[in-house]
Each structure stands twice: as structure tokens, then as C-alpha cells.
Structure 1
Amino acid sequence: MASFLLGVNVLTKRILFRALVAVTTVCALGSAFAQESAESSLARVQRTKVLRVGAVAGAIPYFAKDITTGKWEGFGPDFAESLGQKLGAKVEYVETTWGNAVLDLQSNKIDAMFGMAPTPARKEVVGFSDTLFDNTYTVVCKKGIPQKTWEQLNSPDMKIVVDVGSSHDQLATRVLPKADVSRLENSGAATMSLQAGRSDCQVLVILLAQPLLAKRGSIGTMYIPQPVYTAPVSIGLRKETDTGMQKAVNAWLADVRAKGEVRSVILKNMEKLAGVPASAFPPEIKF
């Protein structure tokens, strides 16, 4: 009996010891995970020397991926490489979509998303840099529609088309409440409505309007209605209490803007990727 009790006692100690080791391991892993989650974006970039940037395939002139080499082009990658050099980090591109980029920032899959509009809804969940550039709103109208002001476009007999939920939609809601506005599922569908003659004008920012006309010049004419409205374009960042990354990005941004590099990078990619020369931009357009 004593031998049996001794065996049970030894077995119990072994079980308790293994349980203690397991709990200690779980606690250590939990602590390491918590420490990693608490690490700021800037601290992670400085530690790993890697800047993770979201990239959207086919989003010319923002992003374009060479299917042969896998290399990313566009003013998003150009700006990203410049920022990476400033931070002493290699840029790692993470393919995403405009719709998923916010979630990728929230889940710490990427550190930055170039070309993101700082809408009020997005500001609730992600951080933003200062304005990278202002994208001017235009209307592309079918042949025969004369140039009009926004006030003249705001008429029940004007058929306006926009992509639903976009900044184009937000502007039309705000300045064209009296117009006959159609809201379609995406920008391509809106363009098809214009091309088919179902709509008179499509609201588009100039960096989308110019490539459209470069490919399909017969679709209509681009106007910049008065007064001029613009949409700020920024760099999406993780929303965090540590503002180190935001300050570092804004410092880089102030430097490249002062040197005129923002405008030169945009115009270079518009011509290279979209076939739109710098001369196609009216003098009132500023980047």
C-alpha cells in the first residue's frame, strides 16, 4: 500500500509539474504577443528595417504591377520608395484592394496606404498623414453639352452619373441636390452610362478623368466647373496613441512637397502609365 501511495504521489507531482510548465509557456507566449501588438508602427519599421505598403493591382496611375517582373509602378510605389529611404527601410508591397486597405491597416498587415482619401468614416478607424495632394473634381460630359458651372449643372434636366459611395457621390449629393443623379455600382458602370447616352455628365476627379479620355477620347469633353472643388488625398496609417510614425511621415512629406517632387512624380506616372502628358492639365490644376 505504501508503495502504491508513493507511486500515486510521484505521478501527481509529475502532472502538476507538466501543468505548471504548460501554464508558464502560455503566459510567456501571451506576453510576447501582447508586446508585439503594443509595438508602434515606427518602432516595428525601425526594428525590422521593413516598411509594409499596400498596393492595388490595376489602379493606374496610383499602382500598376508588371506581370512579368512583379515590379510595382505608379506614384504610390514611387512615394513609398522615397519614404522607405528616409526611414532607412526596405519597402515590402502587400497586395490589397481599396476596400480592404482600411482593414489591413487595422489588423497591422500594412504600415501605410498611399492615395487614401481621409473621409470622416475612415478617420474613425485609421490615422492619416497631412495632405499628399489635392485631386480636382471635374465632369466628363457627352458631346454637345456646353461647359457649365456647378450651379448650372444643379438642374432637374441634367442627368448626372456617379459611382455610389465614392467621393464623387458625396460631392454630387452636396452640390447637385436638384440634378437627376444616378448612382451606379462602380466608376466603370458610370462611364458606360455616359457612353451609352443615358447620362449627360459623369463626375470624376481629374486623375481618373484624364486617363479615361486618353483611352476613349470620343466619349466626351472634360470640364472643371466653377467654383473649383478638390478632394484631399493622404497616406493612410495605423490609428495608434504613439504618433511617431505620423510625425515621421509628415516630416518626409513636407520635405518632398517643398522640393516639388509630389507634382513631378504624379505627372511622370500620368504620362508613363496613363498616356496623359503634363500639357493636358489646365494651369489651374495644382498638385
Structure 2
Amino acid sequence: MLSRRSLAGLVGAGTMAAGAAASALVTPAVAQDASESAFDRIRRTKKLRTAAVAGGAPYYQKDIATGQWRGFYVDMAKALAAELEAELELSETTWGNAVLDLQANKIDLFFGLNPTPKRALVVDFSVPVFSNAFTVIAKKGFAPKTWAELNSPDVKLAVDVGSSHDAAVTRLCPKAQVVRFKSADEATLALSTGRVDAQCLVLMLAMTVLKKNPALGQLVVPNPVFATTSNAGFRRERDKTLRDFVNTWIDYNRGLGFIRQTIVSNMELVGVSEADMPAGVSL
């Protein structure tokens, strides 16, 4: 089973793969006394506003031809809206803008945020939806089994700058040569061209990348297993009813197996099956 050890101290500005920049966060958005709470607005208008990230499969995926959204967080948002007796309104955002959209009251919640202390200054978080282990894609012929083996001056590790991957490697591998790139895709390119020995990614993203390009190398889950969590984020307001409701909804549906089933079924969007999960690691 995957250790649920929190990496709150590690995760500076994470993602799922490709997190939001902490520098983009501004001062907390504080709801005015006379303002309508998010929960009351949803119940009054019968509309739940959230957002999705194009190209974020299996979290989110937009069909270019039809404009329809798919992904496990899309399915969860639809189910949550139905429970609230509301219609789902889905707009498009980016991993970097999701927190700002919450603060600006453009959306009521956003699924897919890693909770970090910096983010917690400006938005609220739900309980974890699932855990995402930190892994590395190691080049062929390089098979580290522990973080200690990666923590060497001879090892070059690629990360996307400012992400949870960056924060994890910085904390766990201070002796390694950490090579930072603007995006996870650029870090993957560096691995494919032999400029680095490995790339750090959370499990969900690592499996997706390797499915697209198996020649990159091998998936390694270094010991001890560390993980971040994927949560829902909410605009900071005094009335916590929406957050409390979503927490209850997540716990209830995780207990019934709906959360796991939805994640596993949508992994097929990127050609990943449950059989591809590393031994001893779970969501």
C-alpha cells in the first residue's frame, strides 16, 4: 500500500502532473459579510461552476472536434453537481490559473490541486481525493531503488521548475544535479536526448508519459515512498458549507469505491490500465 506520508513540507507549488506557480498567488480573497456564499448561490441558481485543463488527461481531456470534456475529474464534477441538484458549468483554465480563478470567484471549486502551505494562505482545500506517489522515469541502464541512490552529485535529475516535482527533488536529493525546465514536457525531452539521467514526476503523469514513449526508460518508485495528494480547492470565504459538503461527498464516494473506479476507467484515455500500476503502490 502506498504510504500516505504527507509532503506538505516538500511541495512548494505542485501539480499532476505540472503545478501552478506560487508567484502567481496574490492576497487572500476575503468574502464580504453581505456576499452570497458559494453554497447558497449554487442552491439558488442550480449551477455548479468549475473548470478543466485542456491536455490534462487523464484528469481532463477536451475533444477538439466536439468540444466535449472527458477525464476522471470531469466525471467526479458531474456526479457532485447531480448530488447538489445542479447543472455543471465547465469553463477552461490552466494549472497555473486555477487558484486565481477561485480567488476571482469565476468558479466555485477546482479539482486537481496539491495542497501546499503557500496555497493554503489564499484558498481552502478539501480532504484528499487520492494520493499520487513521487516517482522517476530513469534512463535505460539506470535503475535506482532509493532516494539515497538518486541523491548523488553524479546524478542529473530533470524537473519542471516550481512544481511539486521540483520541491520534492530539492528536498530529497540536495546533492544531485537538479536541472530545471519551464515545463514537464521540456524535462521529458531532456531525458529522451540523454541530457539527464532521470525525470521526477508523480505516478499518474509518469505512467502517462511512459505509455506514449516506452523507449524513454523505466518507471521507478524510489523507497521510501513519498506522495502528495490531489484535492479540490475553494475560494476563501467565511461560510465553509460547500467545502464541508464536498468533504462528505469525497469520503462517502471513496468508501463506496466510486472515486477509484472513476480514476481507473479514465486512465484508458492515455492508454494506461490498472495492470500498469507498480506493485505495492495504490491510489
Relative contact order, CA 8 A, sep 6+: which one is greater? 2
**Higher Rg of the two aligned structures:** 1
> Paired residue for 2:67, among 67, 70, 77?
70
What residue in structure 2 maps to residue 52 of structure 1? 49
Match of 2:122, as an amino acid?
V
State the distance in 2 between where 1:79 and 1:285 align.
Answer: 23
What residue in structure 1 maps to residue 282 of structure 2? 286
CA change 1:35–1:200 in 2 (3 A) is: closer
State the distance in 2 between where 1:47 and 1:141 align.
Answer: 52
> Paired residue for 2:109, among 96, 112, 126?
112
**Residue 126 of structure 2 is aligned to residue 129 of structure 1:** yes
Q: Contact 2:144–2:150 (CA<8 Å) still a contact in 1?
A: no
What residue in structure 1 maps to residue 40 of structure 2? 43
Aligned-residue offset at 1:76:
1.1
What residue in structure 1 maps to residue 248 of structure 2? 251
> Paired residue for 2:162, among 151, 162, 165?
165
TM-score normalised per structure 1? 0.86
Deviation per CA, 1:192-227: give whole Å up to 9, x if none. 110110100100101101111111000100010000
State the distance in 1 between where 2:103 and 2:57 align.
Answer: 25
Aligned-residue offset at 1:70:
1.8
**Residue 108 of structure 2 is aligned to residue 88 of structure 1:** no
State the distance in 1 between where 2:34 and 2:69 align.
Answer: 29
Aligned-residue offset at 1:62:
0.7
**Residue 98 of structure 2 is aligned to residue 101 of structure 1:** yes
Secondary structure of the 1:237 match is strand
Aligned-residue offset at 1:84:
0.6
State the distance in 2 between where 1:135 and 1:58 align.
Answer: 19
Match of 1:142, as an amino acid?
K
State the distance in 2 between where 1:268 and 1:54 align.
Answer: 21
**Residue 164 of structure 2 is aligned to residue 175 of structure 1:** no
State the distance in 1 between where 2:208 and 2:254 align.
Answer: 24
What stretches of structure 1 move > 6 A for 4+ residues in a row? Answer: 34-37
**Residue 58 of structure 2 is aligned to residue 61 of structure 1:** yes
State the distance in 1 between where 2:34 and 2:152 align.
Answer: 53
State the distance in 2 between where 1:284 and 1:41 align.
Answer: 40
Match of 1:156, as an amino acid?
P
What residue in structure 2 maps to residue 26 of structure 1? none
CA change 1:277–1:68 in 2 (3 A) is: same
What residue in structure 1 maps to residue 260 of structure 2? 263
State the distance in 2 between where 1:69 and 1:35 align.
Answer: 40
Deviation per CA, 1:47-79: give whole Å up to 9, x if none. 000000111111111111112222110011011
Provide the aligned length of Structure 1 versus Structure 2: 253
State the distance in 1 between where 2:224 and 2:52 align.
Answer: 33
State the distance in 2 between where 1:261 and 1:216 align.
Answer: 30
Q: What's the C-alpha RMSD, in Å, of the aligned pairs?
A: 1.4
Aligned-residue offset at 1:261:
1.4
Secondary structure of the 1:276 match is coil
Deviates more, 1:35-44 or 1:183-192: 35-44
Unaligned segments of structure 2, at least 5 residues: 1-30
State the distance in 2 between where 1:261 and 1:92 align.
Answer: 22
Aligned-residue offset at 1:147:
3.1
**Residue 238 of structure 2 is aligned to residue 241 of structure 1:** yes
How many percent identity over aligned positions? Answer: 48
Match of 1:283, as an amino acid?
A
State the distance in 2 between where 1:37 and 1:237 align.
Answer: 19
What residue in structure 2 maps to residue 274 of structure 1? 270
